[in-house]
Amino acid sequence: MLLKLLKAPIMNTIIMNQDVLKSAISRRDNRSELPLSSRLNEIVHTPAFIKADASNKTDKNKQQPTSPKQVRRFG
């Protein structure tokens, strides 16, 4: 009984992931006909890429400690 309860959500997740994978493959196949610049533009505008890009920028823009007190506290 417990095994059935544990298997149910896992199986649903697997099935859902298969559906997601199939749709991703079909989208990829449709996109392969697009020129490279259009495909790159699509990648750059995905939420995951935007988030990663933004986090990289904030790391670079962080102010470095200048006073000895700040250096001791943060360094």
34: left (phi over 0), alpha (psi -120 to 50) or beta: beta
Instruction: Check the CA dihedral 38-39-43-44 and report its sign.
Output: negative
* Domain-embedded: residue 71: no
Task: Tell me what the mean pLDDT of segment 63-72 comes to.
Answer: 58
Statement: residue 75 has pLDDT above 50: no
Q: Which residue has the higher pLDDT, 53 or 75?
A: 53
Residue 41 binned pLDDT confidence (cut-offs 50, 70, 90): low
> Could you give the CA distance from residue 15 to residue 21 in angstroms, rounded to a whole number?
10
* Domain-embedded: residue 43: yes
* Domain-embedded: residue 16: yes
* Domain-embedded: residue 59: no
Q: Which domain holds residue 30?
A: 10-48
Question: Domain total for the chain?
Answer: 1
* Domain-embedded: residue 28: yes
> Could you report how far apart the first and last alpha carbons of the chain are, in Å?
55
Statement: residue 59 has pLDDT above 60: no
